[in-house]
Amino acid sequence: MKRLYAIALLLASPFAAAGEFVDLRDAPAVGGDAAAGSAKVMVCVACHGPSGNAVVPAFPALAGQHAGYLYQSLAGFRRRADPASPMTAQVQTLSDQDLRDIAAYFAAQRRTAPIATATANAPGARLFRDGDPVRGIVPCQGCHGLDAQGHPQRMQAARYDYYPALAGQQSDYLVARLRHYRDSALADTSNARIMQGIAHNLDDTAIVDLAAWLATTPR
């Protein structure tokens, strides 16, 4: 529980709502310089692990994540400037180009594969693949891909680069993130608005099942 509480601090709290709404429906490609980014991530890897392969469960893995999603996450921390979030201080001194470069750097890294223990019949796998009409849960694969590697059309349109890959992500981080979407009133991007509606019907069991399966699915 303490671990989840710590993660919650990393996420924007409802009281940190500040700044404008960002519409990502027609967002362009991030276009950062991965090489330049490599020189700007020294602080990041302290928590998120070498090359963004976090080992501490409280911190999300960044390696191999899509640049659009990473950039928008970093920009969100800066935009909201939530004093309760430890990320606020880390991004305040970075320029927009820095954020793009950092995003490009981590997107180019390879996610160190976790132990692939995921099974197709796990409750989380079924929820991800089929959803649950009875509970009003839509299938996640529609936007995050059948293999949880990201939006199926991310190669066709830049806006889908802002949908994260979920496979191989830290389980605790996923749980905290989904609860945040479900319980928080804050949604300052168009993608967060989508997730707010989807997470509304996720109960704690569904969230834990999904996170457990995704964390053990190879990236």
Partner 1 sequence: MPALRYVRASLPLALLLVLPAATKADSGRGVDVAFDNALLQGRAAAGSSGDPRGTSWLRPGQRRSPAGLLYVCPLQPPSLADLAGWEYAAHLQLGWTGAFGDDGNALWNRYVRWDSGLVLGLLEVALRRPEDGSYASLRASRISSDNAFFDAAFGRAGSYKVQAFLRELPNGISDSARPIWSGIGSNVLTLLPELAPGASSSAEVAAVVAGASPQQLQVVRSKSGLGLDAWLTPRWIAHAKISEEQRSGARPFGGAFFYNFLFPGNAGVLETLRPVEDSTIALEAGLRYAGERWRADFAYDASFYRDRYRRLRFESPFALSPTRPGATSAPVYQGQFALEPDNDYHHVRAGLTRRLPWNGEFHVTAAAGRMSQDDGLIAPIDCSGTFGVDIDGSGVPSAANPLLHNCADWNTPAALSRDSADLRIDTYSFDSRLVLQPLPALQVRGGVRFHREDYRNAYLAYNPITGDYGYITENGAQASIQAGALGTWNPLTAASAITRVRSIPFDLQTQGANLGADWRLGERRSLGLQLDTQRDEPSNRERRRVDKDSLKLNYVDRSIDWLTLRANYTGFKQQGDRYVPNPYDFAYSSSLPGFVAPADGVPAFTVDALRKYDLADRREHKLDFSATIALADTANLSAGVRGDWNDYGAEIGRQAYDRSGVNLQWEWQPSPATQASVYVAADRARLVLANVADVEFGPDGSLGGPDYPDSARWWVFDKQRNRSAGIRIDHDFGRFRLDAGWNLVDARGITAYRFASPAALAYFADGLAGVREGRFPAMRYRVDSVNLGISLPLTPRFSLRVFDLFERGRVDDWHYLGLEAAQVIDHRVYSVGAPRGYAANLIGLLLDVRL
Nearest CB to partner 1, comparing residues 141 and 190 = 190
The CA-CA-CA angle for residues 124, 61, 79, to 5°, reads 105
Q: Which amino acid is at 5?
A: Y
> Do 215 and 171 contact (CB within 8 A), yes or no?
yes
> CB under 8 A: which stretch of 36-44, 46-54, 94-102, 128-136 binds partner 1?
128-136
96-125: which residues touch partner 1 (CB under 8 A)? none
Per CB under 8 A, the list member of 109, 149, 169, 191 interacting with partner 1 is 191
Per CB under 8 A, the list member of 39, 50, 110, 135 interacting with partner 1 is 135
Q: How far is the CB of 189 from partner 1 (least distance, A)?
A: 9
Number of H helices, E strands in the chain: 11, 0
Residues sharing a CB contact under 8 Å with residue 43, sequence separation 6 or more, in sequence order: 90
CA atoms within 13 A on the CB side of 44: 24
Per CB under 8 A, the list member of 5, 18, 19, 25 interacting with partner 1 is 25
DSSP SS3 for 132: strand
Nearest CB to partner 1, comparing residues 114 and 164 = 164
Confirm or reject binding of residue 134 to partner 1 (CB under 8 A).
yes
Residue ranges that bind partner 1, judged by CB under 8 A: 23, 25-26, 133-136, 159, 190-191, 193-194
